[in-house]
Structure 1
Amino acid sequence: MRLLLVPGVSPDRWARVWAQRVPDEPLDVVRAAPAGAAAAVLAGDVDAAVLRLPPDPAPGLSSPGPSSPDLPPPGLPSPVPSTRDGWAVVPLWEDRAVVVVPREHLFTVVDAVDLDDLRAEPLLVPADDVLGAEAAVGAAEVTQVPDTPTALDLVASGAGVVVLPHALAREHGDTRFAVRDVPEVPASRVALVWHRDAEHPLVQELVGIVRGRTAGSSRGDVAAPPAPAAPAVAGRGTSPRTPRTGTRGARPARGRGRRAR
């Protein structure tokens, strides 16, 4: 099976588990830029891909930049894989947005950066941007650059800051930089996708591995239909069970609320 991964996604644990569970079928892992990931699946170059989907807009977030909110960020595939178009899309995790700044930058004195403060910084937007940073941040000064490595070199020189998914910033990180969370910028959504017209017979095994399921657990990205009820067995002491009636009301269902953190 051939699996494509975009930058910021590590295959090490998946490859180890795959080799244990499916020793007769090698997992061939290839790398590609996010913009070409969906096309590689459609062309049959790979069987599935772990790629980035457009971030969900934050509630109340305006888009002051020129980019349309209806279009994906320039570094993502267009059109984006969708179940409406015959794709299987298995959400995996969200990669939080961070701002990358020089090591001695003022932002390093805080753990998270407010959007109002970030807007005052010169923003570098790479052509392979996957967050839609220009629209999400709305900075007063924006500079377009060819790619993420170029943006990071400019950050190190003090020319501006760049907003990236945390895993991507970590992959490119070195001692020249510091990263801080930007909670108001929507996170990057990471998903496993394949096209149902060319579904590999072991793709559900892959779903279980990337989702961290044990070897004996159920697999699949859709719930199985409920099993039909067993027919009643005639015999002594058996009869169809009828609902109980009475004046006592049904006991309300109990649920455990999620404690705020």
Structure 2
Amino acid sequence: MLRLTFATGTEPGKWFARFRRATAHGVLETLDADDTIAVLLAGGADVALARLPLGGVDKRLSEDTVHIVRLYAEERGIAVPKDSVFAEMKETVDPRDVADEHVNYRIADDASLDIDAIREGLQVVAANVGIVIAPRPLLKVLSKKQVVPLGLKDPSVPQTEIALVWLKDNDSEAIQDFVGIAKGRTLNSSRHEAPKKTSREKAKAKQARRSEATGGAKKSSSPKKSSARGSHQRRGRRG
């Protein structure tokens, strides 16, 4: 069994499905959490899909005691009212265009986030007041109907990245297999502990391979016959 906690705003459902389908580690328990590092350190999960400062580490973590596998950087985002001119005109907002807007929430200089404060800020935006600046994937998940999450082209806003984090003392084959899936390793990789097939499944797979081989042989012979007929016809015309 593998227990995994994933950060609010991430959508790792496809990884969960591949892990369950491609490995034999038993049950995969998943938990959505605003603070996955806290869940991990409290022993509530074996591995955390966490949000970290880009290129940095959460202050509660020590790289001497945890493994960190960085997966991708999150796009900077801005949440605006649905009826604002920005929602109607632009997909990515220039910071100069919103310089006069009231900021209900902005990601901290160390790229840390207060998810509850973001939720509260978005409620104010939904009332057609101000903006919220946070990772765009997070804004997409938390925003309601009256709020539009857009990209923000502002290098002064710290970026976050999504990473897998687990304690070195708790390393396991199940964690390694999930890391491989998250990094795009193919299902046929020898690193995966593949589920064992029954005798019936093995027989079916063998039969399918034979059928494919037979079909391929028939297809490959067809062009030769066509070529021979064409050659015979050309010789007949010359005679």
Fold agreement, TM-score > 0.5 = yes
Aligned CA distance change for structure 1 residues 116 and 219 (closer, same or farther; 3 Å): farther
* Mapped partners of 2:150, 2:132: distance in 1: 11
Larger Rg: 2
What displacement does 1:146 show? 5.0
* Mapped partners of 1:190, 1:116: distance in 2: 28
Contact 2:108 / 2:158 at 8 angstroms: preserved in 1? no
Aligned CA distance change for structure 1 residues 218 and 86 (closer, same or farther; 3 Å): farther
**Cross-structure match for 1:9:** 10
Aligned CA distance change for structure 1 residues 120 and 145 (closer, same or farther; 3 Å): farther
- The superposition leaves residues 174-228 of structure 1 with CA deviations (integer Å, 9 ceiling, x where unpaired) of 33122221122343200001010221332110111111211233659xxxxxxxx
Q: Secondary structure at the match of 1:205?
A: helix
Q: Secondary structure at the match of 2:93?
A: coil
* Mapped partners of 1:217, 1:26: distance in 2: 21
Contact 1:47 / 1:200 at 8 angstroms: preserved in 2? no
Given the alignment, which residue of 74, 78, 92 partners 2:71?
92
**1:33 matched to 2:5:** no
| Structure 2 gaps, min length 5 | 193-239
* Mapped partners of 1:15, 1:145: distance in 2: 24
What displacement does 1:24 show? 4.6
Contact 2:4 / 2:29 at 8 angstroms: preserved in 1? yes
**Cross-structure match for 2:100:** 120
**Cross-structure match for 1:78:** 59
**Cross-structure match for 2:133:** 163
What displacement does 1:44 show? 2.1
* Mapped partners of 1:118, 1:186: distance in 2: 17
What displacement does 1:55 show? 3.4
What displacement does 1:172 show? 1.9
Q: Secondary structure at the match of 1:30?
A: strand
Indicate the RMSD between aligned Cα atoms, in angstroms: 2.7
After TM superposition, the structure 1 = structure 2 runs for residues 1-261 of structure 1, keeping only pairs within 5 Å, are 1-34=2-35, 37-55=36-54, 78-79=59-60, 81-83=61-63, 85-108=64-87, 109-125=89-105, 131-132=107-108, 147-184=117-154, 185-217=157-189, 219=191
Contact 1:82 / 1:89 at 8 angstroms: preserved in 2? no
Which protein is richer in helix relative to its size?
2
Amino acid at match of 1:205: D
Deviates more, 1:38-47 or 1:7-16: 38-47
Q: Secondary structure at the match of 1:197?
A: helix
- The superposition leaves residues 100-148 of structure 1 with CA deviations (integer Å, 9 ceiling, x where unpaired) of 10112122322322223333211012xxx7x327x88xxxxxxx99522
Amino acid at match of 1:8: G
Amino acid at match of 2:121: A
* Mapped partners of 1:115, 1:82: distance in 2: 35
* Mapped partners of 1:87, 1:145: distance in 2: 24
Q: Secondary structure at the match of 2:48?
A: strand
Deviates more, 1:21-30 or 1:43-52: 21-30
What displacement does 1:56 show? 5.3
* Mapped partners of 1:146, 1:43: distance in 2: 20
| Structure 1 gaps, min length 5 | 58-71, 137-143, 221-261
* Mapped partners of 2:184, 2:39: distance in 1: 25
Contact 2:75 / 2:159 at 8 angstroms: preserved in 1? yes
Contact 1:82 / 1:88 at 8 angstroms: preserved in 2? no
Task: Report % sequence identity.
Answer: 28
Provide the TM-score with structure 2 as the length reference: 0.68
Aligned CA distance change for structure 1 residues 12 and 132 (closer, same or farther; 3 Å): same
